[in-house]
Structure 1
């Protein structure tokens, strides 16, 4: 738990909006002794906050790491579908349960169900442990696949992983126990490059099936692409998180 806390604190400093606020505070620190330098640093911080909040920047940044959609013919030779969790919502009192899958996870579940319906013979391996809840992500995803999408494929759980690295390590171990070495991997588009690389590092051949692509929208009003929004800032944060994670998990 301490490791997770430290991980999230470090994330906060590297991701918006705190990364920009730190620059602004640094400029304020220099403002009195070095007014010109302080002013420049403050302006840089403000600009970085603005640019990271625009839909256009979020979209272009997402395009850098988001792979292409899967081709149906790619599924002919895979042995299983692997679905990765993307968080839970532990404030779901309206459902009278401890927790439900987060919106990001639900997008992944829906696409996995779509692929499963087209490939009913493929087993599904769902991966994700419990961090802030009693129920693992894997168990919640399995429940959603069965109860909400009527998926009839065989479903296996990997309920212990708490990071993408552990998703790959523990799920690969489980896959290999069943003699499975080639899978179609379902996760968010911005998450795919890192997840795919980690699974391949663990000895699994991966066909990427990304979902949850960020859309600019407002094609008839492109001026709105440059108006800051909370969704764009959240998307920028998510993509930067994946870029940093890829550098840490794969490159370093």
Structure 2
């Protein structure tokens, strides 16, 4: 992506607008407005034009880097946290995939390598024709119709957040007498997800995927004149996990 293309993105356009306002303000000697606009432009550039946001997010991902399923011991089940699909009545599969679809793919790969006999999928609630459903129903139907390596395929009830998932996982573990499960999620989310499950008494082996920050740092391009929206997305994900961790700690969920 070139600088002209970056300028038509929301972040690039906002940065250019802040720079323009700053220049006009300084020209008219409106120092406070000029400094404020310049600081805003600098903040946008820091987030989207430098490796800053990737470095922040990489701190959450790095503990789970290069954990290969081959090195894992056998567990009772593989549990995949929700967040990688979204219901869509227009798609042939009834769902669209997001940037975290690696969660489902990684869970299936761990199953294919024989690390557990049961695959557990989760999903957020959605409404269809007046009835409440779970996205886990859609994943289950897809896995079965494609005959993917899922073993004893199970699904959690509809869960609105990671805490509800952890409670549901804990209930399933106790009812089935499981000792240990492999927990699959985006690497940046695993610390909070694993902590929430352990709070419910579940022994988890975390397996990460969706390494957005570490993959970005592996690429040669880290600096841009015009900030890009990818940096803002990584910063939002980092902030979501950090604030989420504080909230979960305050509520006693981790």
What does residue 248 of structure 2 align with?
249
Structure 1, unmatched stretches of 5+, are 1-15
- Are the structure 2 counterparts of residues 121 and 193 from structure 1 closer, same or farther at C-alpha, using a change threshold of 3 Å? closer
What does residue 76 of structure 1 align with?
73
On the 8 A contact 1:128/1:159 being kept in 2, the answer is: yes
TM-score by length of structure 2 reads 0.75
State the shift of 1:47 in Å: 2.0
State the shift of 1:105 in Å: 4.3
On the 8 A contact 2:167/2:200 being kept in 1, the answer is: yes
Pair 1:129 & 2:108 matched: no
- Are the structure 2 counterparts of residues 212 and 148 from structure 1 closer, same or farther at C-alpha, using a change threshold of 3 Å? farther
Indicate the RMSD between aligned Cα atoms, in angstroms: 3.2
On the 8 A contact 2:51/2:223 being kept in 1, the answer is: no
Residue 39 of structure 2, aligned match among 41, 44, 53: 44
What does residue 62 of structure 1 align with?
57
Pair 1:102 & 2:100 matched: no
User: How many residues in Structure 1 have an aligned counterpart in Structure 2?
Assistant: 224
Alignment of 1:1-252 (within 5 A): 36-54=31-49, 56-66=51-61, 67-68=63-64, 69-72=66-69, 74-91=71-88, 93-95=90-92, 99-119=94-114, 121-131=116-126, 134-148=132-146, 150-214=148-212, 215-216=215-216, 219-224=219-224, 227-250=226-249
What does residue 11 of structure 1 align with?
none
Structure 2, unmatched stretches of 5+, are 1-9
Q: Pick the structure with greater CA Rg.
A: 2
State the shift of 1:112 in Å: 0.6
